[in-house]
């Protein structure tokens, strides 16, 4: 019995020493900042819906202790306690949850709260993929930070394979000039630096407002009519982004060729793993526009 106890004590000591001597985990986030954890995070807060989806895909869904409004996928995400929305975060609640990692998304309504979050002394990881490859990269990095590399790396490899397959099928097809309508009141779109534009390029499409300086610029109807896109895409999320408003404009090539398409918004407007599904749908509709060409 004494030998068994001694062996157990020795094993515990070796394990403790191994953990204590483990190298810190270091990654760079999408802003280029170095994020270092002394050990895998066990309590994480997701500050954007796409972040929640990335964490679940990385195998860390059970470690999310807080999320924001509209973090509704997968189904289990709906049960995660809320810490606010994209405009206002309850900083006291964030602190009370005692997270060891916060994954943030920078946007106009959130930047003013970043400094307050930094004062909490909790490591921040900025997730904002602007290329499709960035989705797989985020899954891998979050897997490192959460200690779920086995699941995360397999998921990232699958994401890359599916995008590569679509690129092989569609990227060299005849180009289709299109207007991507994010919202219709006011009318705005996305420029060439957005991840949606990367999906458009993969499908062989051309974003007619790619050269805009602002990521999500407001566009006049006159500008769209003058550009005369071959296809118009709108999102159906929350009943906005209706493309029906273009039907009366018979001079538009998109109207003439019956290329007014509607896509599910959260499959493309969220820079998460479901963009694989959203991009596939986008590619199929762009291919449909090619088939509608009259000559």
Q: Answer whether 253's CB lies under 8 Å from 179's CB.
A: no
* Structure letter (DSSP) for residue 128: -
The rounded radius of gyration (Å) of the Cα atoms in the chain is 23
Contact 99, 43 (CB under 8 A): yes
pLDDT (0 to 100) of residue 83? 96
For residue range 238-286, list pLDDT tens digits in order.
555 689 999 999 999 999 999 999 999 999 999 999 999 999 999 999 9
Q: Which H/E stretch holds residue 5?
A: helix 2-20
Q: What's the number of CA atoms in the CB half-sphere (13 Å) around residue 255?
A: 13
- pLDDT tens digits, one per residue of 181-202: 998 889 999 999 999 999 999 9
Q: What are phi and psi of 232, to 5 degrees?
A: -125, 130
Contact 103, 44 (CB under 8 A): yes
Q: Which domains does the chain have, with CATH numbers?
A: 21-156 (3.40.50.1980), 171-291 (3.40.50.1980)
Q: CA dist 80 to 61, 146, 186, Å?
A: 10, 17, 32
Average pLDDT across each block of 10 residues of the chain; the chain has 295 residues. List them in order: 43 43 90 97 97 98 96 97 88 95 81 81 96 98 98 98 98 98 92 97 98 95 98 77 90 97 94 98 98 87
Give SS3 for 1: coil
């Amino acid at each position: 019995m004494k030998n068994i106890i001694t062996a157990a004590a020795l094993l515990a000591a070796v394990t403790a020493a191994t953990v204590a001597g483990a190298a810190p985990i270091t990654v760079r986030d999408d802003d280029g900042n170095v994020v270092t954890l002394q050990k895998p995070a066990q309590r994480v807060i997701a500050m954007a819906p796409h972040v929640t989806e990335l964490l679940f895909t990385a195998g860390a869904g059970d470690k999310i202790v807080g999320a924001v409004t509209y973090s509704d996928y997968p189904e289990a995400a709906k049960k995660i306690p809320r810490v606010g929305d994209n405009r206002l975060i309850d900083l006291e609640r964030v602190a009370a949850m005692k997270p060891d990692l916060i994954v943030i998304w920078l946007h106009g309504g959130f930047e003013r709260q970043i400094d307050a979050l930094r004062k909490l002394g909790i490591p921040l990881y900025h997730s904002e993929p602007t290329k499709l490859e960035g989705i797989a990269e985020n899954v891998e990095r979050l897997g490192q930070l959460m200690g779920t590399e086995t699941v995360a790396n397999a998921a990232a490899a699958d994401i890359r394979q599916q995008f590569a397959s679509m690129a092989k099928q569609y990227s060299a097809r005849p180009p289709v000039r299109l207007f991507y309508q994010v919202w219709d009141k006011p009318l705005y779109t996305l420029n060439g630096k957005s991840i949606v534009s990367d999906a458009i390029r993969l499908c062989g499409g051309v974003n007619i407002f790619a050269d805009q300086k602002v990521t999500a610029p407001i566009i006049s109807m006159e500008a769209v009519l003058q550009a005369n896109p071959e296809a118009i895409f709108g999102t159906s999320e929350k009943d906005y982004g209706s493309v029906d408003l273009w039907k009366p404009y018979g001079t538009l090539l998109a109207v003439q060729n019956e290329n007014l398409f509607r896509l599910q918004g959260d499959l493309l407007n969220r820079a998460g793993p479901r963009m694989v599904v959203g991009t596939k749908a986008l590619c199929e509709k762009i291919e449909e526009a090619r088939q509608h060409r009259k000559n």
